């Protein structure tokens, strides 16, 4: 699969819905989840945060601080703006992920918003030894171009500049060229059995066609009411993220518990 989509790129979500982000941020500050209400202790789980298209690490700074307060060890993706070739970005993220896991001594969770969710899934498929689970926030895995026409225009403009030689920008060839061929394949494929994935979507998303977020390979599809950009500061999104991370912890603990009897049998046999 090279840049093809199961969901048409002719989506036209109501862009005005994105004007809610200020109200969503204000609601978050009043919500108990902001102060850790109902959020399980992260127990030092490393979490890599990957921002959406054209966004940088600062877009997920509030979420990173919240995760840290909850006992997780969040790490930024090292992006000023998520506009580079997917193949090149994944190489850099792979190295960052290796360092994060080595420092904390356990597999990481990855939370990716929009385009960041696609990169997170690709990392989970490539590095199951480093990734326990993936949370995708408004990520159109079934149609990366199933977005509002104005956003598609931005994609075309950046691709044109990258094709002309502007550094750190994706090129038009990234859609079907060799540089991103493995990324497109990873995006379309299921994750390994010991890597969980939760896809969080909103029918009131003002940028992405919500149906493109219904990845059939996700372990759970979680619907919330939020704008697309507002998922970074939405109380409902934060609760969904907290639930997903707790679920990864339980799944990993269950797998460890299932392995213990076999190990004990081997010791007795020796």
Residue 255: the pLDDT is 76
- Neighbour count for residue 254 (Cβ, 10 Å): 10
Query: pLDDT digits over 142-198, tens only?
Result: 999 999 999 999 999 999 999 999 999 999 999 999 999 999 999 999 999 999 999
Residue 3: the pLDDT is 52
Q: What are phi and psi of 146, to 5 degrees?
A: -80, 65
Q: What is the DSSP letter of 71?
A: T
Q: Are 180 and 190 in contact, with CB atoms under 8 Å apart?
A: no
Q: Are 217 and 46 in contact, with CB atoms under 8 Å apart?
A: no
Q: Does the pLDDT value for residue 4 go beyond 80? A: no
Cα(67)–Cα(85) distance, rounded to whole angstroms?
28
Cα(133)–Cα(120) distance, rounded to whole angstroms?
9
Residue 1: the pLDDT is 44
The string over 85-109, giving b where at least 16 C-beta atoms fall within 10 Å of a residue's C-beta and e elsewhere, is bbbebbeebeebbeebbeebeebbb
Query: pLDDT digits over 225-260, tens only?
Result: 999 999 999 999 999 999 999 999 999 888 777 665
Query: pLDDT digits over 88-140, tens only?
Result: 999 999 999 999 999 999 999 999 999 999 999 999 999 999 999 999 999 99
Task: Name the residue among 109, 102, 103 with its Cα closest to residue 128.
Answer: 109
Residue 265: the pLDDT is 42
DSSP string across 91-142: HHHHHHHHHHHHHHTSPEEEEEETHHHHHHHHHHHH-TTTEEEEEEES--TT
Residue 252: the pLDDT is 87
- Neighbour count for residue 73 (Cβ, 10 Å): 18
Cα torsion for 173, 87, 4, 128, to the nearest 10°? 170
Give the three-class secondary structure for 4: coil
Query: pLDDT digits over 31-63, tens only?
Result: 999 999 999 999 999 999 999 999 999 999 999
Residue 13: the pLDDT is 84
CA atoms within 13 A on the CB side of 26: 5
pLDDT band at 9 (very low <50, low <70, confident <90, very high): low
Query: pLDDT digits over 212-226, tens only?
Result: 999 999 999 999 999
Cα(212)–Cα(8) distance, rounded to whole angstroms?
9
Q: Which domains does the chain have, with CATH numbers?
A: 15-269 (3.40.50.1820)
- Neighbour count for residue 196 (Cβ, 10 Å): 22
Residue 7: the pLDDT is 54
């Amino acid at each position: 699969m090279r840049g093809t989509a199961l969901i048409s790129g002719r989506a036209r979500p109501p862009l005005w819905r994105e004007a809610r982000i200020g109200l969503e941020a204000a609601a978050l500050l009043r919500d108990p989840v902001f102060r850790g209400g109902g959020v399980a202790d992260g127990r030092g789980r490393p979490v890599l945060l990957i921002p959406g298209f054209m966004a940088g690490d600062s877009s997920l700074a509030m979420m990173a601080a919240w995760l840290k307060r909850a006992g997780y060890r969040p790490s930024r993706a090292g992006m000023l703006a998520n506009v580079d070739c997917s193949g090149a970005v994944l190489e850099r993220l792979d190295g960052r992920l290796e360092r994060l896991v080595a420092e904390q001594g356990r597999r990481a969770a990855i939370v990716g918003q929009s385009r960041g969710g696609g990169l997170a899934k690709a990392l989970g498929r490539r590095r199951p030894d480093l990734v326990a689970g993936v949370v995708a926030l408004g990520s159109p895995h079934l149609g990366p171009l199933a977005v509002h026409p104005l956003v598609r225009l931005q994609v075309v403009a950046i691709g044109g500049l990258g094709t002309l030689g502007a550094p750190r920008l994706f090129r038009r060839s990234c859609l079907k060229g060799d540089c991103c061929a493995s990324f497109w394949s990873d995006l379309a494929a299921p994750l390994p059995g010991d890597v969980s994935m939760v896809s969080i979507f909103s029918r009131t998303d003002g940028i992405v066609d919500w149906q493109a977020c219904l990845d059939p390979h996700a372990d759970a599809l979680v619907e919330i009411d939020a704008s697309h950009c507002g998922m970074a500061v939405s109380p409902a999104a934060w609760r969904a993220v907290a639930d997903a991370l707790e679920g990864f912890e339980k799944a990993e603990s269950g797998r460890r518990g299932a392995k213990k009897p076999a190990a004990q049998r081997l010791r007795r046999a020796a």
